[in-house]
Structure 1
Amino acid sequence: MALANERLDHLKTVKLDRRLRKLFPDEPPKGIPTVPVRLAILSSSTVDHLLPSLRVGALRHGIWLGTQLGDYGQYAQELQDPAAAIHQYRPTCVLFAFDARHMLRGIDVTAGADEAEAWLEATVADLARHWQLGRQQFDCKVIQQTILPVFPTLFGNNEQRLPGSAAALLSRLNQRLRASADAHGIELLAIDEQATQDGLQTWYDPALWHRGKQEVHPNATPVYGDMLGRLLAAYQGRSRKCLVLDLDNTLWGGVIGDDGLTGILIGNGNSVGEAFIEFQSYARALSRRGIILAVCSKNDEKNALEPFEKHPEMVLKRNDIACFVANWSDKASNIREIAQRLNIGLDSLVFVDDNPFEREIVRRELPMVAVPEIPEDPALYSRVVAAAGYFEGVHLTAEDRERTAQYQATLQRNSLAATVTDLPSYLRSLEMRMVWTRFDTIGLQRIVQLVNKTNQFNLTTRRTTTEEVEHIIADPRSLSLQMRLIDRFGDNGIISIIAGSLAGGGGIGADLGGPQAGPGDIVLHTWLMSCRVLGRGVEQAALDLVIAEGKRLQARRLIGVYKPTPKNDMTRRLYAELGFAALEPEGDIERWVLQLDGAEPKPTSIQIIEG
């Protein structure tokens, strides 16, 4: 994984991939803390040269990737033929990678506006049918590669006025792809946008196309693989969550402690000052979409806060920063403190500092923290952070937009808790309300997001898909709960997801109950909580809801499942502490049972409200 994170060109990527495949030909190496992915690539051109970069790019983001390549141009037949190799492979993810010439078959430059529009609608509809077929056949995630804009213009600057031109059609097709992908819940691999940034000549060589039908240039394959790796990591909740920022010469020019408020360089009218404004604007935009911002600075705290509170040109304000640490301790220790205060893993952090000495210290002491190599020119800061793909997302929810406020409120609660000695009185003073509903379409994407990214308080770390959650919603015999916690400091958002299925009923995850589960038993295949609300009696309140739902479904027992992972040891004793009795373990899976007959709610400081 360390080698995969080096700056590798195509040839070095191929060498690393060969070595990996020789060392681990059949099974992934031990210790990779993610679910392996089996990727099937269905293409219309030559893509064999992409495979090493796909595997190494996934490993860079902590994913062990297996690949299966369909026959050249036979994707439609393979999807529908049960004897095809892809059906034996049973992919967990399918990538559709189509070349521009294949996509533009069946139309010519003389097409009028109506004909071009009809072609676009038919082409996008045909792609959607293949997406749906892939999902139905394999119950897997589907990714669609956008189309490279390889054709020269025929009409010049106003190419859109020639409806049948290949360049104009591809531009419109990529627009339609984006809308259709959103409508169908499909993720895109946006190589058209990347080629626009890098230059088309970096991604495409007509000579290679005509010689070997290679559309993606070998030199671009490491970037292609990294883009897919980011997406797969985001599916598994491995995107970074927090941007940790230095201050002096990172958010402004100069040293606040020496230059003072009027001496630091930030603001309009100066090219360097405007570059710092742009980077601050980028950081604030990240926070608006759900990335936590923190400050780690070697400074007196009073001096460090002054620009946020008093400088008129500052884009970032104090309330944009969820955790502010400014002192004279070493930055590795302070970054540990930030992670502890926010209750997130160090592997969730990205640290940006203009000082190469500080970057190297953090890399050495905290190798799990991402530390991009920042250039000297602040005008390039935003581009470097964005290009690394640390914050890749798949779904954006309303709660993502409120994350900074939620973490600030958590720090307030923790600060108050540190001053009290009577815990029950403190919990009552929070005036907590747990608002619950069963799974619904309104919370669908947030449910999928939480299940796929929660690792610590997650009893099985079983991942899910949009289709699975839709199935649970539609199944009246499924147990499903989503819980939101509100207190006097604010709304914590959705803090727990619990789902279960009746044993023997063919429901989602019921097989995890093992041989001990029988008729009338509900198997709790998914139970996760936000770590920031632990220690408040939420676990017991959640169990009270599960008991009530189990009785409503006329179940006789609850079967709790615990499957240990490198990160979820904190949940090992949950079922025992909640009064479940241990069943005989099977391999590394523990199962626990609670009789519903006679089980009653226990008093907590939390008011439970059905939403």
Structure 2
Amino acid sequence: MSELTWLPRTSDWAKRLNALPREHTPDWHALVRLANENLDFVQTGKLDKRLVKAYGGTPPETLDTQPVRLAVLGSSTVDQLLPGLRVGALRHGLWTQLYVPAYGQAMRESLDAASGLYAFAPNVVLCAFDAPHLIGDDTTSLSAEQAEVRVARIVGDLRALWQRVRERTEAHVIQQTLMPTLLPLMGENESRLPGAPLTLLRRVNAALREAANAEGVDLLALDDACAHDGLAAWHDARLWLRAKQDVSPSAAPLYGERVARLIAARRGASAKCLVLDLDNTLWGGVIGDDGLCGIVLGQGSAEGEAYVAFQRYARDLTRRGVILAVCSKNDEANALLPFEQHPEMVLKRGDIACFVANWQDKATNLRMIAQRLNIGLDALVFADDNPFERNLVREQLPMVRVPEMPEDPALYAATLAQAGWFESVALTGEDRERATQYQANQAREALRTSGQDLASYLASLDMVLEWNTFNTTDLPRIVQLIGKTNQFNLTTHRHGEAEVQAMMRDPLAVLLHFRLKDRFGDNGIIAIVAAVPDTNETAREGDWRIDTWLMSCRVLGRDVEQATLGVLADAARKAGARRLIGEYRPTPKNGMVQGHYPGLGFAPLASSQDATQWVLDLGDFIPSHTPIEIRSMQ
């Protein structure tokens, strides 16, 4: 049975659900907390009823994420999945409205520009087709050539569907892979029969992966889920024959969770940092009591090898962009000993971007870690073997993600992997270097607090700001930053790859990205600025509107904003601009940039409930002097 095993299961869940107010709308965050438990199908349905009653037609006013308008295109019954989809999204703080075409009408609606699908205007489309529908019947006699044609036609039809949907909606497209529900005919050597249904299914899944990579479509890998959990956890042949339910109702909570992860990842809401306890989490025993030779770690015991396996998984996460931190109740000198001296330690001190070991409570230390790394608390995942510490953090910091660690350390890595909090839909060069970049930032911070005045400190960094226009090489990273940057983001416009490519085709658009280097290393691409001719009725000739200005918080306080404006102003003048119009649209997370434009010399232009607008006359603008060298990479 598929379960949300990384989440806690409390005995008073039903009591807390029933305690929600019925005479008025319950608090959104109370519903989110109820969703963050190991819920079965029945519990999910009960929570979904309260969710729909409270917020079915209108998102909460306190929502700090873009509402999800999700269309589910399937060839079988999907009604049993809808509560799981809504509650899965709720678990990630996403409000979701669903659209499902009438049974058997998904493909027809995708072809009809006047259909209910396009009237719904989805921003996410889930293609959830079953294997019997796509593979077809009586394929066993197909030759190898005919089987090749069949696979190409199936995947070609799906690619055409993705393209149609994107052209008409610019939606985020998710394609479900086929579950291995078709029966083998030859057994272990099934692949030797080209037309065998299961052989075709496997080949379609392989071709789907290649096509999705080429098209920028995200995969919901149900074949991988079945391989991990067993087909019976996801599919019931009896329910397929009786109700044409491809995914069984019992799997609906996990199905909705996996879909929500993809949506959250595409919107930049995945976690960024794994915070690790030490004693009985990275090794067995207590370093302060047992000493370096007494802790259990490495060769010689199954338990010791389990801790090594968990460390290896944590290390591998850093290779794909996850930051590591330590939060331990320990004397720092004792806590550091295994990292520096134990021969079986996989993780070294250099792998840890922020190391906090003291006797303060862990909620306080997690706040300190988030502050030092300059990331939100909701970007943290906290792994601790101690249930008291886990519950304390859940109570005091509900935005921090806390896995329910099993008693056996052999299951630590699998539990963290199944939780999916580090879900990613793309991997860039900057992702691979992120851990190194944060470690270098700690070195910069140490230098900053060494007693130098600010001007001397900035000059000592030997900063170089390299800029370039948008290009296909850097496009994945540009789209990634636009999708996930929340704090230093003036408008929070979320442009997908297709939208960015459309902007790149505009000869008048000023599209810039910036990379910052200094003597500690390369920070990677740290800023995106996009300015386009202003088409508003109130605009003057020569007005260029700054559609997007976002920056990494890692480079705050280093005069990068002033240097960036100098490059932007020069590029905008060359494009024909006379004035730059900047807009600040407040969100719950971007209050730090409220004074960005006035701080750079922009004058107030207009104000409304949703935004303030600012103007900079380029004829009067003189770039600020900064200690940063500017280099064009064009």
Q: Same fold (TM over 0.5)?
A: yes
The separation in 1 between residues aligned to 2:131 and 2:466, in whole angstroms, is 50
- CA distance in structure 2 between the aligned counterparts of 1:220 and 1:462, rounded to whole angstroms: 35
Aligned to 1:596: 618
1:469 matched residue in structure 2 = 500
The answer to whether the Cα contact below 8 Å between 1:448 and 1:469 also exists between their aligned partners in 2 is yes
Answer whether contact 1:242 1:348 (CA < 8 A) is retained: yes
Cα distance, 1:73 vs. partner?
A: 2.1
2:575 is aligned to: 553
Once residues 189 and 300 of structure 2 are traced to their aligned partners in structure 1, the CA distance between those partners, rounded to angstroms, is 35
Equivalent position to 1:450, from 481, 495, 512: 481
Tell me what 1:562 maps to: 584
User: Is 1:497 the equivalent of 2:528?
Assistant: yes
CA contact (8 A) 2:65 2:94 kept: yes
Question: Displacement, 1:112?
Answer: 2.1
Local SS of the residue matching 1:72: coil
- After superposition, what is the alpha-carbon deviation per residue over 1:132-165, rounded to whole angstroms, capped at 9, x for unaligned? 1111111111110111100121111111111111
In the alignment, is residue 265 of structure 1 matched against residue 296 of structure 2?
Answer: yes
Whole-angstrom CA distance in 2 between matches of 1:435 and 1:280: 36
Q: Does residue 1:314 correspond to 2:345, yes or no?
A: yes
Contact preservation (8 Å) 2:233, 2:251: yes
Farther off after superposition, 325-334 or 557-566: 325-334
Deviations 1:277-313 (A, max 9, x none): 1111110111100000001111121221111112111
Name the amino acid aligned to 2:356. Answer: V
Matches within 5 A, 1:149-548: 149-504=180-535, 514-548=536-570
CA contact (8 A) 1:420 1:426 kept: no
Structure 1 distance, partners of 2:609, 2:381, is: 37
Q: In structure 1, what is the Cα distance between the partners aligned to 2:632 and 2:229?
A: 52
* 1:508 corresponds to: none
- The residue type paired with residue 595 of structure 1 is D
Q: Which residue of 1 aligns with 2:26?
A: none
**How far apart are 1:218 and its partner, in Å?**
0.1
Worse-superposed segment, 70-79 or 401-410: 70-79
**Structure 1: how far apart are the matches of 2:540 and 2:255?**
48
Local SS of the residue matching 1:123: helix
> Are 2:56 and 2:97, in contact at CA under 8 Å, matched by a contact in 1?
no
Counterpart amino acid of 2:629?
A: Q
Percent identity for Structure 1 against Structure 2 = 55
Aligned length: 602
3-state DSSP of counterpart to 2:606: coil
Q: Contact 1:452–1:464 (CA<8 Å) still a contact in 2?
A: yes
Q: Distance in 2 between matches of 1:107 and 1:406?
A: 56
Code of the aligned partner of 1:548: D
Q: Which amino acid aligns with 1:608?
A: I
Deviations 1:67-99, CA, capped at 9 Å, x for gaps: 100122222221121221112111111111101
CA deviation digits over 1:11-32, x for unaligned, max 9? 2212221222222232111212
Which residue pairs with 1:127 in the alignment?
158
Amino acid at match of 2:65: T
SS of the residue 1:257 aligns to: helix
How many Å separate the matches in 1 of 2:591 and 2:290? 49
3-state secondary structure, aligned to 1:584:
strand
SS in 1 for 2:35: coil
Root mean square deviation, CA, Å: 1.2
1:439-497 alpha-carbon deviations (Å, 9 max, x no partner): 11111111111111111110111111001111122221111110011011111111111
Structure 1 runs not aligned, ≥5 long:
505-513
The amino acid across from 2:256 in the alignment is G
Rate the CA distance shift 1:473–1:107 in 2: closer, same or farther, 3 A: farther
Cα offsets for 1:401-424 (capped at 9, x unmatched): 111110011111111111234211
Aligned residue in 1 for 2:179: 148
Offset of residue 426 of structure 1? 1.1
Bigger mean CA offset, 469-478 vs 447-456 = 469-478
Structure 1 residues 24-83: Cα deviation after superposition (integer angstroms, max 9, x where no partner): 232111212100011111111111111111111011001111110012222222112122
The letter of the residue matching 1:364 is E
Deviates more, 1:412-421 or 1:567-576: 412-421
1:347 counterpart letter in structure 2: D
- Code of the aligned partner of 1:556: R
Q: Per-residue deviation at 1:106?
A: 5.8
Summarize deviations over 1:89-130 as a string: whole Å, max 9, x none: 111111111011001116511212222122112211111111
Does the CA-based 8 Å contact 2:132-2:182 persist in structure 1?
no
In the alignment, the residues of structure 2 paired with residue 136 and residue 107 of structure 1 have an alpha-carbon distance, to the nearest angstrom, of 35
Is residue 517–residue 523 contact of structure 1 (8 Å, CA) maintained in 2? no
Q: Which runs of 4+ in 1 moved over 3 A?
A: none
Is residue 2:610 matched to residue 1:585? no
Tell me the amino acid that sits aligned with residue 223 of structure 1. L
Matched position secondary structure for 2:532 = strand
Does the 8 A contact of 1:517 with 1:559 survive in 2?
Answer: no
Q: Partners of 1:551 and 1:24 in 2: how far apart?
A: 47
Structure 2 unmatched runs, 5+: 1-31
Query: Structure 2 CA distance, aligned partners of 1:348 and 1:383?
Result: 20
**Higher RCO (CA 8 Å, separation ≥ 6 residues):** 2
CA distance in 1 between counterparts of 2:368 and 2:537 reads 45
- Cα distance in 2 for partners of 1:422, 1:308 equals 34
SS in 1 for 2:360: coil
Q: Distance in 2 between matches of 1:249 and 1:24?
A: 42
Work out the CA distance in 2 between the residues paired with 1:311 and 1:113: 56
**2:606 counterpart of 1:575:** no
**Residues 515, 587 of structure 1: CA spacing in aligned structure 2 closer, same or farther, 3 A cutoff?**
farther
- Alpha-carbon distance in structure 2 between the residues aligned to 1:137 and 1:370: 36
Q: Which moved more, 1:111-120 or 1:520-529?
A: 111-120
Q: Kindly indicate whether residue 85 of structure 2 is the aligned counterpart of residue 63 of structure 1.
A: no
Q: Which amino acid aligns with 2:595?
A: R
Deviation at 1:515, TM superposition (A): 4.4
SS at match of 2:285: coil
Structure 1 contact 584–591 (Cα < 8 Å) conserved: yes
Give the TM-score normalised by structure 2: 0.93
